[in-house]
Chains A and B, each alone.
Chain A
């Protein structure tokens, strides 16, 4: 199987090699087109993993190999944040254009990309709004459009729906699956919500312990769209829960 991103023996400690270890000997492969969800409790180091992949944090040891095209018209990875992090002085359109401004694109191509990304997240009617005029869900859509516009090979999502209400979250989960299937982008999605992981993922990776390592790596074969109750009671779900619980008990015993 081809590999898009290979994370090998990745370790990261805050405050240098002698500092607090967050990730230890973490190894993970992501295949092209895969939808991988990393589950773990708050503070386990999920976001740190994404930050390493996004180039925002340096690992203490180990390596990350990204088999991504070197192309001045695309960014290899793009990040969607938990709190949208839109630039308040830019309109919806301006925010989607933000990543494109770092790329070598013709004016027409840039316009085309913006329109395409906004259509993907169904915000074509909102291009001239300021961020404060949007709902939480709409802001996340803009954040997603901003990331999609740079045509990343790997889309990193850091608990993007955690701050939304349940109904909006459910809608956006469905939208995300649609976007994933339409674009074929690989997704590495981080969450602490097991239900969310089971509903979205092609593969669930359980991260746990201090320092964190992969304790379960479970493929979810149920086709989309999924039945929430069904996936929640599947054997895979049981395995993920056990994986999380084991490590918590382990950690409590230290």
Chain B
């Protein structure tokens, strides 16, 4: 009788170990988390009215979805999230890069920034409402400010940290204008740092989205407040999990983009 060699017998197992083990373990942890939560509710440890079990979520979600509320709410949030994120990131990267390029500009604005930077984006809510009313523009403004600073400092640091030796390569090979140096060396070299800032902004922007919406601007935050007012914890949970899913998806897409842009890195 022939015994299969160790290699023959074990390769599917090895593949399973390599490709499945970690995601499976993580999934196991997640299932356990929901199971314990469900159990706590069924045994009466947590009262349903205080904090609903996960099993209440699908039904609540289905209700929100079929009534068209979920889609409308998510669209509203995503709308000002995207606009605020885009405006804040672009302006922040631009201002940060310029300050990094021009030491005098950086010095001139240094103390202005010391005054403005510690003010959280949320602190601008009263003015945002005063200027724009309870509107989409107010939300975009608040989100934009929070994202702006993150990107400003990331881009400033990234441009300042560009290896001077590489700039010398540009000069030695005939790229002497500011534009040529900027696009041939400075910006590509600063891209990893700039993208790290953008990614932080993608996460931080959600905080501002929620804050703006808790003040009455249409979207997930406002819907959560409404549901809370009606003592409907399931719906609050639906939107909390929606937030997690939206952030996770957007971050995952961004990481894929980030890895593609920086595919030149080891």
Contacts and interface: CB of A to CB of B under 8 A. Distances in A.
Interface string B149-187: 000000000000000011011011111000010001100
A78 interface: yes
B191 interface: yes
B264 interface: yes
Contact of B173 (A90, A91, A98): A98
Interface string B176-208: 000010001100110100000000000000000
A101 B174 CA distance: 9
Q: Give the interface size bracket for B toward A.
A: 10 to 19
Nearest to B261: A89
A55 B171 CA distance: 8
B175 A87 contact: no
B260 to A, nearest CB: 12
B173 A89 contact: no
B174 A75 contact: yes
Contacts of B266: 132
Contacts of A146: 173
Contact of A85 (B166, B175, B264): B166
A56 B173 contact: no
A87 to B, nearest CB: 6
A146 B169 CA distance: 11
A89 B264 contact: yes
B9 interface: no
Contacts of A180: none
Interface residues of A, number: 24
Interface string A81-110: 101010111110000001101110000000
A126 to B, nearest CB: 15
Contacts of A79: 172-173
A132 B188 CA distance: 16
Given A88-B265, A90-B264, A132-B266, A102 B169 contact: no
B265 A81 contact: no
Contacts of B171: 55-56
Given A101-B175, A150-B174, A85 B180 contact: no
Please classify the interface of chain A as helix (H, G, I), strand (E, B), loop, or mixed, using the class held by over half of its residues.
loop
A129 B264 CA distance: 9
Interface in B111-160: none
Given A102-B180, A130-B264, A85 B173 contact: no
A81 B169 contact: yes
A103 B263 CA distance: 28
A132 to B, nearest CB: 5
B265 A132 contact: yes
B172 A78 contact: yes
Q: In this complex, which of A79, A83, A87, A131 has the most chain B Cβ atoms within 10 angstroms of its Cβ?
A: A87
Contacts of B166: 85, 87
B180 to A, nearest CB: 7
Contacts of B180: 102
A132 B264 CA distance: 8
Interface string A122-133: 000000001110
A79 B168 CA distance: 10
Interface string B77-119: 0000000000000000000000000000000000000000000
Nearest to A132: B266
B175 to A, nearest CB: 5
Nearest to B185: A87
Contacts of A87: 166, 169, 185, 188-189
A55 B263 CA distance: 33
A64 interface: no
B173 A83 contact: no
Q: In this complex, which of B189, B191, B263, B264 has the most chain A Cβ atoms within 10 angstroms of its Cβ?
A: B264
Interface in A197-241: none
3 closest pairs, A vs B, by CB?
A: A102-B174, A99-B173, A89-B264
21 contacts: A54-B172, A55-B171, A56-B168, A56-B171, A56-B172, A75-B173, A78-B173, A79-B172, A83-B165, A85-B165, A87-B169, A87-B189, A88-B265, A89-B189, A90-B264, A98-B173, A101-B175, A130-B264, A132-B264, A146-B173, A150-B174
